[in-house]
Amino acid sequence: MRRGLALATGELLGFVDGDASIHPSDFMRVAATIEQGADLAVGSRKLRGSIIACPQPLSRRLSGSIYRMLARLLLDTTIRDFQCGCKAFRREVWEAITITCDGFAFDAELIAKAHREGFNIVEVPITWSNKASSKVSLPRDTLAMLRCLLKTRAEVRR
């Protein structure tokens, strides 16, 4: 992810999950928020107007809720959905921060550091569908995500 964004040449940068859980039209709505004044637009499954067309299994929903709670608490931000893989942002946001986390905690680090720098972050409701092809593994990824949250917390508090 970091390599791709570093190679991007436009003034508007962004990404979506590779599993097609978000329709391209939703990404376009999220990206349009940048033209309306946001610096970082975050697609969200947790806002009024969001639609979950195909929900995640219960274990993923519970672990996601715990992660969101920890991320909001540790990173001191009001964002409701860190992990929805739909983000768009101005190039200046990317150039102002340094992302060090790999994997699924990338999004939380991006949001926390953009928040620390005072960028205007806006959440946008989207339609989202769980895909069986998801690469998240709770046993494998949980500890790495928690480590990155703690590392990010320390960095944004400096």
Q: What does the pLDDT look like over 82-93, one tens digit per residue?
A: 888 899 999 999
Q: What is the CATH number of the domain that holds 141?
A: 3.90.550.10
Distance (Å, whole) CA 137 – CA 119: 32
Helix, strand, coil shares, percent, the chain, to 5: 45, 20, 35
How many other CB atoms are there within 10 angstroms of residue 113's CB atom? 21
Q: pLDDT band at 55, cuts 50/70/90?
A: confident
Q: What is the pLDDT of residue 158?
A: 82
Residue type at 115 in one-letter notation = H
Mean pLDDT of 35-39: 97
Q: What is the pLDDT of residue 107?
A: 92
Residue type at 76 in one-letter notation = D
Q: Which domain holds residue 78?
A: 2-156
* pTM assigned to the model: 0.91
Residue appearing with tokens 């320390």:
154
The dihedrals phi and psi of 132, each to the nearest 5 degrees, come to -60, -20
Among candidate residues 21, 71, 20, 16, the one with its CA nearest the CA of residue 51: 21
Q: pLDDT band at 134, cuts 50/70/90?
A: low
When divided into structural domains, the chain yields a total of 1
26-48 b/e with 16+ CB inside 10 Å = b? Answer: bbebbbebbeeebbbbbbbbbee
Q: What is the pLDDT of residue 36?
A: 96
Mean pLDDT of 40-58: 92
Among candidate residues 46, 47, 48, the one with its CA nearest the CA of residue 56: 46
- At residue 26, does pLDDT exceed 90? yes
